[in-house]
Amino acid sequence: MFTTIARRLSPFFVKHQLNFKRPIKTLLPVLGFLLSFNVLAELRGTGDLGIVIEREAGAALIINTSQRTQLAKITNLGDLSHASVVFSRDQRYAFIFGRDGGLSKIDLLQDKLDKRIIQAGNSIGGAISQDGKLIAVSNYTPGGVKVFSSDTLELVADIPATYADGKLSKVVGLVDAPGQRFVFSLFDAGEIWTLDLKNPQNPLIEKFKNIGKLPYDALITPDGHYYIAGLFGESGLALLDLWNTQLGIKRILPDYVKSEEKLPVYKMPHLEGWAVADDYVFVPAIGKHEVLVLNKQNWTLVKAIPVPGQPVFVMARPDGRQVWVNFAMPDNHQLQVIDVKDLSLSKNLSPGKAVLHMEFTPRGEQVWVAIRDDNQVVIYDTETLQEITRLPAEKPNGIFFSARANKIGL
């Protein structure tokens, strides 16, 4: 690269009669120009970037979504077996939540680890606040939520998930919400809490109890209106209207699945991957080989779409026309594409062994798919459903694009 620069600058040296025998003061402007040229050569748009998690290696690949290339690999990030990622408001930084309680801040422009802390013993995910200044982490051990400055990763607030005579509950389903709030569920307690951090020195907590047994994950609708927690301990879902919290919790689909009808659950559905498309909400049925379609207006069941396995992620293309579904083992070599117009399966794909995660490009023309056991990321054209290319990755288990910075709950 520097040879190329020198060749391009040779007329400059001749014109100004510069040579390396001159005093250093004479050469400083030239050196400054060389350095600035190098910086300019590395400029990139942050909106075009993303992260691919390599779970076994404890590493993250920085990728370019338009060029479909790997730019850098960041290592020593701890246990990433259940890693999730959020992005700073300017899309420059990625915050990675590790299962070992690690919180890592990655600089996507300088290809480096900016800072890493161990904030708990076992964490399950996190979220970034509406103004981008706060990072909240949901913890299993100890149970609760910790909130940090997104700039320095210094602790801002510590919210223990205390219930029933001082016990601590695992926290799941943590999302950001409008009004500088976070919302999360208490797995052991069967509760939903909202956390208002307009004044981080005086956090305001609203608690909703007896929502149902064992809420295992949750979503917030893209407009920030509804928070919905799935229940593992009983049939149905718990819905909280965040515009009207005084209404309390509403149970939806309370009688859909009776316990004796459930199949063994090999992998819990990830509800952050639920899909809201057109007038419907698409939900992975726990313990059944179905994707449930709910009416978004009244939360009643419209249709149960049979699928060939237990759905894990049910994700909508950004325009809402397609919903893509992957599955728990032993059916995790498959992908199903649902046509939202007809509420029917339109395509079955077999991209490889252990399909773990999907991510759409910001406008949905492509979908990237993590194939863990084949050590690859497969990229599909979502219009033709044809494979475009494959990229190498060591045991990939999560793909996250920086466009998430502009979306509620992601």
**What mean pLDDT comes out for the span 199-220?**
95
pLDDT digits (tens, 9 = 90+) for 30-83: 555 444 444 444 688 899 999 999 999 999 999 999 999 999 999 999 999 989
Q: Residue 10: its pLDDT value, please? A: 46
Judged by DSSP in three states, 406 sits in: helix
Q: Give the tokens for residue 120.
A: 């708990």
Q: Give the tokens for residue 295.
A: 């009416």
Could you tell me which of 347, 391, 396 has the C-alpha nearest to residue 371?
A: 396
Q: C-alpha distances in angstroms, 6 versus 11, 33, 95?
A: 10, 11, 39
The DSSP letter of residue 263 is: P
pLDDT digits (tens, 9 = 90+) for 160-176: 999 998 999 999 999 99
- Angle subtended by helix axes 2-15 and 24-41, to nearest 10: 140
Q: What is the mean pLDDT of the chain?
A: 88
**What mean pLDDT comes out for the span 402-406?**
95
Beta-bridge partner residues of 24: none
Say if residue 11's pLDDT is above 50.
Answer: no
**What mean pLDDT comes out for the span 273-296?**
85
Cα angle 310, 314, 318 (rounded to 5 degrees) comes to: 165
Band of the pLDDT at 288, cuts 50, 70, 90? confident
Band of the pLDDT at 1, cuts 50, 70, 90? very low
Task: Compare 383 and 269 and report the one with higher pLDDT.
Answer: 383
Beta-bridge partner residues of 122: 141
Q: Give the tokens for residue 111.
A: 């290809």
Band of the pLDDT at 28, cuts 50, 70, 90? low
Segment (H or E) for 12: helix 2-15
**What mean pLDDT comes out for the span 128-146?**
97
In angstroms, the CA 214 to CA 267 distance is 15
Q: Residue 14: its pLDDT value, please? A: 42
The DSSP letter of residue 305 is: E
